């Protein structure tokens, strides 16, 4: 990739400030876990795999700064991270993994325990990079030369530790010599599609066209979309998928117009502990993101706002899941409609 959204430098975490994109490419050097939590909350780092990686590094940053690596301290820090964004399962999975790994270490030597924390965070990062490559490899089999793909929000390198999930499929198909066109939903209200996906695809030389969210149905009716590929923040045991708000609407449109609807996600996004969508906590965002997006007031003062960050697409609307272990069938009947 032509950019590095997340990396360790010495005992700091360096993040590409995604809230500044596409107008400004700024990197944040963070050596306090509270600053990393703040970066997660304000979406300077976002995407389920990426915030899991950032949280794992954040635990190591906290321990290094405090020179403490006892399990009680680390579990306390882990709970702080879990509260930052509750819907994405990768975040809680990553910090729980770090805690469990530390609890199994017999030594009380602080330096050894700190080394383990950093090593575990780096392992999580590297594993995600490799999973993205496998997702791309399996997903590229679904695409043929000349296809047009519609995607929502950002499920690319900016959202992961590698080439991305949904966009990783596109990048891999391109490397195989396939020429693709991509429509990117702007993804209201925070415009991750406009600000991030369009920027990222341009960086990688992919033919991308930005559309308003409510244009997707017309494109499908006109026969201009061959596939819809999205990422996921949590996938329940029954296959229900929590993803950026607007995904559910796309799935309904794709089903009606007989356009295949794929969810690309690593194994870490599958949550066996949650039976179905009823058990998924949906994060609620600030009303200001709707009424005064990016500092410009566009709604009357005092108006009520409902702004969930995610919605849930049921298993029945999903054609298949593209994972690092292969293609898994969804519940949508052949052809949709």
Distance CA 151, CA 167 (A): 8
Considering only the C-alpha atoms of the chain, give the largest distance between any 2 of them, rounded to a whole number of Å. Answer: 65
Please indicate whether residue 233 is annotated as part of the active site. yes
Marked catalytic residue, from 44, 185, 213, 233? 233
Contacts for 275-280: CB closer than 8 Å, 24+ residues apart: 275/236, 275/237, 275/238, 276/236, 276/237, 276/238, 276/240, 277/236, 277/240, 277/242, 277/312, 277/314, 279/236, 280/87, 280/234, 280/236, 280/240, 280/242, 280/310, 280/312
Distance CA 98, CA 259 (A): 40
Cα–Cα separations (whole angstroms), residue 127 to 53, 79, 120, 160, 309: 10, 23, 10, 11, 27
Distance CA 240, CA 197 (A): 24
Q: Which of 168, 125, 159, 126 is nearest to 262 (CA)?
A: 168
Tokens of 300: 């009357």
- Which residues are the active-site residues? 233
């Amino acid at each position: 990739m032509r950019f590095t959204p997340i990396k360790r430098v010495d005992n700091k975490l360096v993040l590409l400030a995604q809230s500044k994109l596409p107008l400004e490419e700024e990197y944040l050097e963070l050596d306090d876990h509270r600053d990393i939590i703040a970066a997660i909350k304000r979406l300077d780092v976002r995407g389920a795999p990426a915030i899991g990686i950032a949280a794992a590094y954040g635990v190591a940053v906290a321990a290094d700064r405090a020179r403490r690596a006892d399990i009680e301290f680390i579990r306390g820090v882990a709970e702080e991270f879990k509260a930052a964004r509750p819907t994405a399962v990768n975040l809680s999975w990553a910090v729980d993994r770090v805690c469990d790994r530390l609890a199994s270490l017999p030594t009380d030597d602080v330096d050894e325990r700190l080394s383990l924390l950093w090593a575990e965070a780096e392992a999580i990062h590297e594993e995600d990079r490799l999973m993205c490559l496998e997702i791309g490899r399996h997903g590229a089999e679904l695409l043929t030369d000349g296809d047009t793909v519609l995607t929502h929000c950002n499920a690319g390198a900016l959202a992961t530790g590698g080439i991305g999930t949904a966009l990783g499929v596109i990048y891999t198909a391109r490397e195989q010599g396939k020429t693709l066109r991509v429509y990117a939903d702007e993804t209201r209200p925070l415009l991750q599609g406009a600000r991030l996906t369009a920027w990222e695809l341009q960086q990688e030389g992919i033919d991308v066209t930005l559309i308003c969210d409510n244009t997707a149905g017309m494109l499908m009716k006109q026969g201009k979309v061959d596939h819809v590929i999205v990422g996921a923040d949590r996938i329940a045991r029954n296959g229900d998928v929590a993803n950026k708000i607007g995904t559910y609407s796309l799935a309904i449109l794709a089903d009606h117009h007989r356009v295949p609807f794929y969810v690309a996600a690593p194994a870490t996004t599958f949550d066996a502990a949650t039976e179905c969508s009823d058990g998924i906590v949906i994060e609620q965002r600030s009303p200001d993101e709707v009424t005064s997006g990016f500092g410009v007031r566009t709604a009357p003062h005092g108006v009520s706002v409902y702004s969930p960050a995610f919605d849930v697409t049921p298993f029945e609307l999903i054609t298949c899941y593209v994972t690092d272990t292969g293609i898994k069938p969804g519940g949508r009947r052949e052809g949709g409609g």
